[in-house]
Amino acid sequence: MIDSDAATVAWERALRAPVWSGNPLWIHADRLRPNVVLDCGRLSAVIYFGSVGVGDPATDVIAARSVFGHSGRSVFRDALDVDDGTWNRARGIALLQAAVIIPYHLETNPGFVALAGCTVGEIVSGDRPSADRPSADRPSADRPSAAQRGPTQRGPARTDPARTEPARTEPAGIDQAPIGEHHRRPDQVGTSADKVSLTILEVPATRRVLDYPGDNREITLSVRSFHAPAPFPATPAVRHHLPDSCIGHHGAGGVTTTSDRIPSGPDGTQTRLLHELESVVEDNLNRHMAIAKDWQPHDYIPWSRGRDFAFLGGEDWVPEDSPLDPVAKTAMVVNLLTEDNLPSYHREIATRFSRDGAWGQWVGRWTAEEGRHGIALRDYLVVTRGVDPVKLEALRMEHMTAGYDSGEKTALQAVAYVSFQELATRVSHRNTGAATGCPVAEQLLGRIAQDENLHMIFYRNLVAAALDRAPDATMSAIRDEVVGFTMPGAGMTDFQRNSVTIAKAGIYDLRLHHDAVIQPVLKFWKIFDRDDFGPDGEKAREELSDFLVGLDAQASRFVEQRERMRARDAARAGK
């Protein structure tokens, strides 16, 4: 698929380009055609900011090959007015990116592969125009050569940053090419776009997308400013104009989006709810901030009981050091490792909700509060020598390396899941504290349980609001999460065996899961009293009811078996 000899020549040519010697600039770093959104033939947005950072501006000049054909590339270079070194480095970066895309997406996204193949073809051919495509660099009666244009006619005139509409100019030559199914733009593929006027800004800014359903007419945009951190100065950056109708402001430095472009059908339910729940999120965030009490992890640690390990001249851990019984140690370690995976949980909710506006403020606050839990639990276990710290660290490394991935949960499923999960964690922490037999540990875990309870209330209230706005979709999400519920630590080593140990001790078992977690939340939502469900909601409620009957019976059998086992153990101990 790739002419290796020609690609090698192009690559070596790029390697000969001088390195970037200026200050690092803000870069998008993934300016491929699927990340460029057109609206009525004009550039509307550059999306996907998962790779944004600072570095060599050549990284963004790859659009010359990955987005434009030959004629558009000429206009693009005129507008940017970049030096030859940057232009040639961009050629190499574009070649590398395209060469990686082809084998990676060969079986899964042939359209994307075709785009990458076109990019490689443009580069290895020396950027010569094809025979049936006129070159923008070729002099003609209506387009003089670069030399004929002279310095005063180079590229479009720089526009005033205050302008909201780009000037209308000649086509830029975004050529027809297949776009992968995942990135399809049915009404844009094969069209040519007017060349977009570029504005040089002194403060870098970027546009982010909250929702990407697959059709650019359904995309909703938000605005977020990026300020270059020290030691990088606020450097000029190129920003494409966006229609003002797509942008809605929400307070100083905040962001919201308009919802008039969100699809009205079932496919838009998740997106509409994210927007409609924004005010509910804000109200509950304010409520949370008013009642949540900050606490200091170090206050709950008995530092006077600590001593050095062998590395600093003391003694390493031995089993006799631990004041905890085996059950308490197991529960404490499971709870701590569950808390340790916070980076994965942050990713889960940040990508499903938003990092902007009230949603973003909540995600940040929740993450910060949850971060205290792991800090305090680890400090307690290490200072008191409750568990082997070397083994604990090995488990942490293993568990965090594996991470947590909930799969393809929708935003509704995610918020329904955490409503139950936060309460389950509260119950587990509270009962673990009681099982330790240590007043300090019980006080610490009780404090953590209070946080988990407040977090549960936040998410529970959001689901209640979602039920009022989209009852069927929300009911379906609730059913999915109750029926398929697993604790977030399920992927850790020996989780099943440890769960049995914890259940036998009554710290967290099926009866508690049914009676103290699932039922209270469902009761708050009035699931079995509502009369606003349609056919889909009714079906989901019936399926949930059937599942709960089975769960209740299973919980009863487990409790009976546990009581018989305890009675046998007591009888043996009495002999």
Residues 345-397: pLDDT tens digits?
A: 999 988 888 778 899 999 999 999 999 999 999 999 999 999 999 999 999 99
**Mean pLDDT (the chain, rounded):** 76
Write out 308-330 in H/E/C secondary structure: CCHHHCCCCCCHHHCCCCHHHHH
| CATH code for the structural domain at 276-574 | 1.10.620.20
Would you say domain 4-129+183-199+207-222 falls under CATH 3.90.1200?
yes
pLDDT at 406: 87
Longest CA–CA separation in the chain, Å: 109
d(CA 223, CA 207): 5
Tell me the two tokens of residue 91. Answer: 């050629």
Element (H, E) at 93: helix 84-104
d(CA 493, CA 409): 24
Please report, for residues 19, 506, 514, 545, 551, the alpha-carbon distance to residue 554 in angstroms, rounded to integers and kept in the order given: 67, 15, 10, 14, 5
Using only C-alpha atoms, the chain has a radius of gyration, in whole angstroms, of 29
Q: pTM here?
A: 0.58
d(CA 335, CA 448): 11
Cis peptide before 213 (omega within 30 of 0): no
Return the DSSP state at 212: -
CB distance 169 to 195 below 8 Å: yes
Which backbone phi and psi does 489 adopt, to 5 degrees? -90, 10
Tell me the two tokens of residue 6. Answer: 């020609």
**206 falls in which pLDDT band (50, 70, 90)?**
very low
Q: Is the pLDDT of residue 259 over 70?
A: no
d(CA 225, CA 439): 48
């001088």: which residue's tokens?
Answer: 18
Of residues 548 and 124, the one with the higher pLDDT is 548
CB distance 182 to 226 below 8 Å: no
- DSSP assignment of 147-208 equals HHH-GGGSSSPPPPTT-SSPPP-SB---------GGG--TTTTT---BPPPEEEESS-EEEE
Where in the chain do CATH 3.90.1200 domains reside? 4-129+183-199+207-222
What are 249's strand-pairing partners?
Answer: 255
d(CA 324, CA 118): 65
Of residues 28 and 174, the one with the higher pLDDT is 28
pLDDT at 87: 87
Q: Is the pLDDT of residue 235 over 80?
A: no
Taking only the tens place, the pLDDT of each residue in 20-33 is: 888 888 889 888 87
Where in the chain do CATH 1.10.620.20 domains reside? 276-574
Taking only the tens place, the pLDDT of each residue in 74-88 is: 788 888 778 888 988
CB distance 428 to 331 below 8 Å: yes
SS3 call for 396: helix
pLDDT (average), residues 315-337: 95
CB distance 33 to 98 below 8 Å: no
What are 221's strand-pairing partners?
Answer: 209
CB distance 469 to 475 below 8 Å: no
pLDDT (average), residues 517-524: 97
Q: Is the pLDDT of residue 412 over 50?
A: yes
Q: Is the pLDDT of residue 128 over 80?
A: no
d(CA 105, CA 34): 14
Of residues 138 and 41, the one with the higher pLDDT is 41
Torsion sign across C-alpha atoms 488, 491, 494, 499: positive
d(CA 394, CA 380): 17
Q: Is the pLDDT of residue 414 over 80?
A: yes
CB distance 415 to 459 below 8 Å: yes
